Amino acid sequence: MSETDTAVAPPQTAGSSKGKAASKSSSTPRSDRRSRRKAGSQLPRGPRGGVQLLLIQSVEHLGKQGEVVEVKRGFALNYLLPQGLATIATDHHRRMVEKHRAKLDEIARQRMASLRAVLSELSRTSVTIEANANDEGHLYGSVGSTEISRSLKQQDLTVLPDQIILQGPLKEVGLYTVKIRLAADVEGDMKVWVVPSSSEGGSK
């Protein structure tokens, strides 16, 4: 056979290889969609036609940790499951969530006991705050929750300003009963004395 008779395979063009690569990559989203549809078909259906899931964490406007909720299939596949907020409500998963929730409940109970101990101490405590006042006892400024919080801190008692509930700023010298709310179910009263400043330089 002569050189002119030798069969030579045509070189593969860059365009053809790119086309194969593109077709290969384009199959990935389709396979992902098929996998997602397959996973969705395995999810338990609820009585209203949605998907029933067990919440691993509390989700606002949906439910608390450990509750079984029914949601739309897309919300389950695109958000709750990928984010690890929920799982299929099997008996095994229920036991795991209950065990975790029991641990969180114990931590919450310890925190509440600690807050009640602080509240008990606060109810036996009074703070004295000096402020500039005129001869009639009216303050030139006012005393608010920030000043009360600062005064408590000097006694090694930590109460945030937003945990001190006032009807309004204190504008006169005298004895006040102030409400303290450390948590939703932990609240009580304490005494606050507002007295004229000893370094007062006279009324304005």
Distance of alpha carbon 148 from alpha carbon 192, whole angstroms: 8
Q: Is residue 152 part of a domain?
A: yes
Q: Which residue is listed with tokens 């948590």? A: 183
9 falls in which pLDDT band (50, 70, 90)? Answer: very low
179 falls within a domain: yes
Tell me whether residue 159 is in a domain. Answer: yes
Assess if residue 41 is contained within a domain. Answer: no
- Tell me the CATH number at 168: 3.10.430.100
Q: Over 50: is that where the pLDDT of 8 sits?
A: no
Q: Which residue has 């790119």 as its token pair?
A: 18
Q: How far apart are CA 117 and CA 78, in angstroms?
A: 45
Residue 77, both tokens: 């596949």
Residue 135 lies inside a defined structural domain of this protein: yes
Q: Quick check: is 31 in a domain?
A: no
CA distance 51 to 42: 10
Report yes or no on 4 lying in a domain.
Answer: no
Whether this model's pTM surpasses 0.85: no
Q: Write out the DSSP string of 175-187.
A: EEEEEEEEETTEE
pLDDT tens-digit map of 35-60 = 444 444 577 777 777 888 988 888 88
Structural domains counted in the chain: 1
Domain housing 143: 125-196
**What are the two backbone dihedrals, phi and then psi, of residue 117, each rounded to the nearest 5 degrees?**
-65, -40
User: 174: closest CA among 194, 144, 197?
Assistant: 194
Evaluated on CA atoms 147, 148, 153, 159, the torsion sign reads negative
